[in-house]
Amino acid sequence: MALPLAKQFALMVPELFLLGMICAILVIDVFLKNSQRNVTYWLSQFSLLITGILVLTMNPGERITGFDGAFVSDPFSVLLKLFVVGITIAVFVYSRPYMRDRELFRGEYFVLGLAGVLGMMVLISAHSLLTIYLGLELMSLALYAMVAFQRDSGRASEAAMKYFVLGALASGLLLYGMSILYGLTGSLDITRIAINLAHSPHPEVAVGLAVVFIVSGVAFKLGAVPFHMWIPDVYEGAPTSVTLYMGSVTKIAAFAMVIRLLAEALPSAHIHWGGMLELLIVLSLAVGNVIAIAQTSIKRMLAYSTISHVGFVFMGVFAGTDAGYAAATYYVLVYALMSAGAFGMIALLSRKGFEAENIEDFKGLNQRSPWLAFMMLLIMFSMAGIPPTVGFYAKLVVLQAVVQVDQPWLALYAVIMSVIGAFYYLRVVKFMYFDKVEEVVPVRLKLDAGILMSFNGLALLALGMFPSVLMVYCTAAAGGL
Amino acid sequence: MNDFLFFLLTVGKILLVVVPLLLVVAYFTFAERKVIGYIQVRIGPNRVGPRGWLQPIADAVKLMFKEVIIPAHANRFLFLMAPVLALAPALAAWAVVPFNDGWMLANINAGLLYLLAMTSLGVYGIILAGWASNSKYALLGALRSAAQLVAYEIAMGFALVGVLMASGSLNLGDIVRAQSGTVFNWYWLPLFPMFMVYLISGVAETNRAPFDVAEGESEIVAGFHVEYSGMAFAIFFLAEYANMVLISALSAVLFFGGWLSPFDPVGVRVPVIGPFLGDGIQWFLFKTAVFMFLFLWFRATFPRYRYDQIMRLGWKVLIPVTIVWIFVEGLLLALNIGPWFTRGL
Amino acid sequence: MSYLQFVFYFFSALTILSALGMITVKNPVHAVLFLVFAFFNSAALWITLRAEFLGIVLVLVYVGAVMVLFLFVVMMLDINIAKLREGFVRFLPLGVIVALAMVVELGLILGAKYFQLAGHPQNQSMLPNTEALGNVLYTQYVYPFEIAAVVLLVAIIAAIALTLRRRPDSKYTKPEQQIAIERNQRVRIVKMSAEGKSK
């Protein structure tokens, strides 16, 4: 597997480019006046765009590892990286007016955002326990800082504090599990761990312990019940632009971590983590969907909906088959798209001195801007899993995968829970279309944000009609693991 | 029995280093008063003994018989511990300094790192003294000192990285040997920016003028040791001067070829004084003395920096300079630019 | 008991005692100092393992830099220990259970192959520890190493972004403006004829 050095570096040209641009932006930003902050914004968008193009052009089309197994480039990583980069572009577009109105439009926001993207890319391409951990920390560190970015807001500081303490705890759990795994197998490399675990006898208790810690660690990071406590508070407390960022793209990266750790490193321990995931799924679906009904804040409601969606993602992983992994990948990508749209909508509807964070604030959106209301309708339908939006198909493939491994009861349970969940999504739709407001405040929308939001919403519809466009790549990605 | 002999031998060696060092420190204080006196057109101490030579002895006796006053509500243990913590690293660092070819207490691989570690420990004495005294002035002095030391330690560390890159070794003896040749082979020339940074941060690390805000008589009385008296105070004094001697010796070793003679190899052939002109401990002592003189000279010449100026100099000037020069040095090494960087990568 | 064994037990005992001291003393400054002492002793342990680089760097980085800043902060805090200990008895059973569980778990996995000393041959290479470490760090582990550097960079950016405030009301002098000042901005020489009648 020893590639020549130049070829190894060629594998990670996108990451190197992004890192170079982060440093450049960091320096350039210092010399800009506050009124020129747009330069930073455009530079960041430019870096993301080029990074995305580089990911595409440098795609080896097969599975290649480099740097002594620390880095892997496979169809899975290419697909996920493209989505991360693309959705981050949308996130930055949505959050620009929001940040500007709250005097948060500073260079560090973009530098931290890009650093987070770099962390996600490292995490997605990680092929050793060391790089998984480092990528995760790089991503989380940027996120902690971004949540606390609104320094004068007590809520944001509280959210950042909670997030940081619990995130550190989760990292600790994960590291503990990793160290046991390293002690068992003597290797940090994921492939070697998998081979070693499968072919030589190990004390079952020790393997089980390692899996317990690793599963709790990733469940913490993704926010599955019972490790979900931080999600509503952090989502609500953080500035909406940051919630938008952490609610969408980071889920993709965290999912990659789950796949690398559970599906790639521990396939032989499926007996252990299968049961744990089942428990997480059952709890997540129940808690997420039921508690979301009682929420009045749309940010909290979406936070609980995140929890239930995480349950669905875990269902795909739980199946443990290629079809299951493909379904989970599909689900997480679609979810990132939906949540970018939903939180983006909250950010776009907010104005200077006004946060559109209550469900009530969506009242009569149809009067104010029919088009945006329609986009929100698509997003909510998709989240609820109503055809012909893509959310329906995503749920369908996941359920299929679970049924294939003879777990029809779990599938049935998931269906019942999503029917319960559909209630609160449709409530938003009801507020938008059937409730009237006294004074109609027109929505002022920047052109770029409007176009992207339309694209975002219509993509959910289009993918729902032609689901196989994306599914092909997901299947290939899962096949290449 | 062999172990016991080894132990005795080591203790003997340690004494051989520490006793002369303390004598040097004692007379260094005397030299300081004399030199600064002459610079300021005064005479300096001249009463005790012939030409005032017994002045340090008199000072020592006086300090020994003074009472160590422990302030009310001071933390007694830490208050007394602090001076010891200040002095111990200053002495321990001498373990790896080569006085001559092969003359060092401990010939260890990671000598340079050890030095950095030891010099970074001195700050505990100062911080604890400031905190344990239960006095505002002392605490302010300690805080100033801690921030200053941490800032300049980075610049100093980077300067040492430059030396490490040039010599390819962390062992101080090897570093000196790597400089053998003419005066122009010594590292002061290829690493001139590093040398300047090292010297400046060395002055700052020892809390000496013009960086002596930790004491800052005119602002915070005497800073961290305002509450100390008698021997406890004397030990802080010892530590400060021992550190100065150490920094001077290290400048000589790292940038000026330690025991190497500037006249080598021509000098040895000169009759009578030839052996003296060859390599040897006399050159190490001479070079150290020159740097020690510089410390005094600085104090007599420069006014004290303001606190924010010190921070600015450390973070915004010295550290960038060292980073840039490390990069340049890397290029020189990669291109094998001689006579200094021919070691190859 | 060989000399090395004596050294090992001596420093391990000190490490454990100072760690215990750290979590039991009342005064936070004392606790920090105990932690420093624990670091120092573990550095000594590392040196007995012929890992002098790690040992010295532990002293240099943790004792010499990190803990100094830590002490710096702790010294300025007014921590009410009594309040911190309020819930001690209430949480004690839970704490004991967690601690016991951890101990049992650790005991269970100690049987695994790579947790044995035999799995790890002693450092036999003739290279100095520093050089050996540098060799793998910059070749085999260069990718994780660089990412670790990026993590630190992000930490710096985050810390500065969250704490740096330009207060408009602070009377801060800008050195560059001070230096750039010119004589005629400070001194105005006024030519005027002397008063009274000149002779």
Burial class of A178 by CB neighbour count within 10 A (0 to 12, 13 to 18, 19+): buried
With 0-12 CB in 10 A as exposed, 13-18 as middle and 19+ as buried, what is B154?
middle
CB contact (8 A) between residue B149 and residue C68: yes
Tokens of B122: 């001195």
Whether residue B146 contacts residue C68, with contact meaning beta carbons closer than 8 Å, is answered with yes
Tokens of A73: 């480039």
Diameter of chain A by CA atoms?
A: 71
Does B108 reach chain C within 8 Å, measured CB to CB?
Answer: yes
Tell me what percent of the residues of chain B surpass a pLDDT of 90. Answer: 8
Residues of C in contact with A135 (CB under 8 A): 147
Per the structure block, which two tokens stand in for C74?
């702790």
Tell whether B121 lies on the interface with C, counting CB pairs under 8 A: yes
Instruction: Indicate yes or no: CB of A205 within 8 angstroms of CB of C162.
Output: no
Percentage of residues of chain A with pLDDT beyond 90: 48
8 A C-beta contact, residue C14 and residue C37: yes
Q: How many whole angstroms separate alpha carbon A48 and alpha carbon A21?
A: 9
Does the pLDDT value for residue C52 go beyond 50? yes
Which string of DSSP letters, residue by residue, matches B88-104?
HHHHHGGGG--SBTTB-
Which percentage of chain B shows pLDDT scores above 70? 93
> What pLDDT shows up at residue C191?
87
Evaluate if residue A371 carries a pLDDT over 80: yes
Per residue in A107-125, pLDDT (tens digit) is 889 999 999 999 999 999 9
pLDDT of residue A313: 93
Q: What mean pLDDT is predicted for residues A85-104?
A: 90
Model pLDDT for residues B256-307, shown as the tens digit of each residue: 888 888 776 666 677 777 667 777 788 888 899 999 999 889 988 888 888 8
User: What residues of chain B, 308 to 327, have a C-beta less than 8 Å from chain C?
Assistant: 308-309, 312
Q: What residue has token string 């100095």?
A: C128
**How many Cβ atoms are within 10 Å of C105's Cβ, its own excluded?**
17
Residue B124 to residue C68, Cβ atoms within 8 A: yes
Is A335:A344 a contact under the CB 8 Å cutoff? no
Between chains, do C175 and B309 touch, taking CB under 8 Å as contact? Answer: yes
Tokens of A311: 């349950």
Q: Show the tokens assigned to A107.
A: 């260079």
Q: How confident is the model at residue A1 (pLDDT cuts 50, 70, 90)?
A: very low
- Chains within contact range of chain B (3+ C-beta pairs < 8 Å): C
Q: What are the φ and ψ backbone dihedral angles of A32, each rounded to 5 degrees?
A: -90, 150
- Chain C touches chain B, with at least 3 Cβ pairs below 8 Å, answer yes
**Domain positions in chain C:** 122-166
Q: Do A182 and C148 touch (CB under 8 A)?
A: no
- Find the CB nearest A67 among C143, C150, C155: C143
Residue that wins the pLDDT comparison between A448 and A50: A50
Report CB contact under 8 Å: C65, B114: no
Q: In sequence order, which residues have a C-beta less than 8 Å from that of residue A230 and are 6 or more positions away?
A: A162, A163, A166, A167, A223
Q: Identify all chain C residues contacting A142, using CB atoms and an 8 Å cutoff.
A: 154, 158
Q: Quick one: tokens of B292?
A: 């020690």
The Cα–Cα gap between B301 and B39 comes to 9
List subunits contacting chain A, requiring 3 or more Cβ pairs under 8 Å: C
Asked if residue B151 has pLDDT above 70, the reply is: yes
* Interface membership of A68 toward C (CB under 8 Å): yes
* Cβ contact A151–C162 (<8 Å): yes
Q: Closest Cα of chain A to C45: distance in Å? A: 21
Q: What is this structure's pTM?
A: 0.87
| Separation of alpha carbons A395 and A379, rounded Å | 15
pLDDT band at C114; cut points 50, 70, 90: low
Mind listing the pLDDT tens digit for each residue in B43-91?
888 888 888 888 888 888 888 888 888 888 777 888 888 888 888 988 8
pLDDT > 80? residue A434: yes
Min mean pLDDT across A177-181, B123-127, B211-215 is at: B211-215
Q: Mean pLDDT score of chain A, rounded to an integer?
A: 89
Q: How far apart are CA A156 and CA A150, in angstroms?
A: 6
Calculate how close chain C gets to B167, using CA atoms only, in Å.
13
Based on the structure, what is the number of domains in chain A? 1
For B149, phi then psi, to 5°, come to -65, -45
Average pLDDT value over all residues in chain B: 84
Please report, for residues A301, B197, B217, B328, the alpha-carbon distance to residue A297 in angstroms, rounded to integers and kept in the order given: 6, 57, 60, 57
Residues B172-190: tens digit of each pLDDT: 888 888 887 777 778 888 8
Among A313-322, B67-76, C117-126, the least confident range? C117-126
Contact (CB, 8 A) for A19 and A117: no
Check CB contact under 8 Å for C151 and A67: no
Q: Is the pLDDT of residue C198 over 60?
A: no
Confidence of residue A5 (pLDDT cuts 50, 70, 90): confident
Answer with the residue of higher pLDDT: A388 or C82: A388
Of A219, A99, A211, nearest to A166 (Cα)? Answer: A219
Contacts (Cβ under 8 Å, ≥6 apart) of A235:
A243, A246, A247, A299, A300, A302, A303, A306
Residue B320 · residue B194 · CB < 8 Å: no
Stretch A298-316: mean pLDDT: 92
Question: Do residue C147 and residue A186 have CB atoms under 8 angstroms apart?
Answer: no
Find chain B residues with C-beta within 8 A of C51's C-beta: none
**What torsion do the CA atoms of A221, A385, A455, A102 make, to the nearest 10 degrees?**
-50
C94/A480 Cα distance (integer angstroms): 45
**Are chains A and C touching, using the cut-off of 8 Å on CB pairs and a minimum of 3 such pairs?**
yes
User: Can you tell me the distance from the alpha carbon of B291 to that of B244, in angstroms, rounded to the nearest whole number?
Assistant: 9
Cβ–Cβ of B109/C3 closer than 8 Å? no
ipTM of the complex: 0.89
Rounded to the nearest angstrom, the minimum Cα separation between C128 and chain A is 24
**Which residues in chain C touch residue A112, judged by CB atoms under 8 angstroms apart?**
154, 157-158, 161
Domain that holds residue A55: 5-479
What is the spatial distance between Cα B92 and Cα B94, in angstroms, rounded to a whole number? Answer: 5
A237 pLDDT higher than 60: yes
C contact set with B (CB within 8 A): 3, 29, 33, 36, 52-53, 56-57, 59-60, 63-65, 68-69, 71-72, 75-76, 128-130, 172-173, 175
Nearest-5° angle of CA A205, CA A208, CA A211? Answer: 155
- Look at the block and give the residue holding tokens 């689901």: A467
Cis peptide preceding A226, ω within 30 of 0: yes
A:C CB pairs within 8 Å: 92
Q: Give the pLDDT band of residue C84 (cuts 50, 70, 90).
A: low
Residue of chain C whose Cα is closest to the Cα of B129: C75
Contact A183 C148 (CB under 8 A): no
With CB atoms and an 8 Å threshold, state whether A149 touches C113: no
Q: How many angstroms separate the CA of residue C125 from the nearest CA in chain B?
A: 14
Residue B120 to residue C57, Cβ atoms within 8 A: no
Place of tokens 């003597």: A186
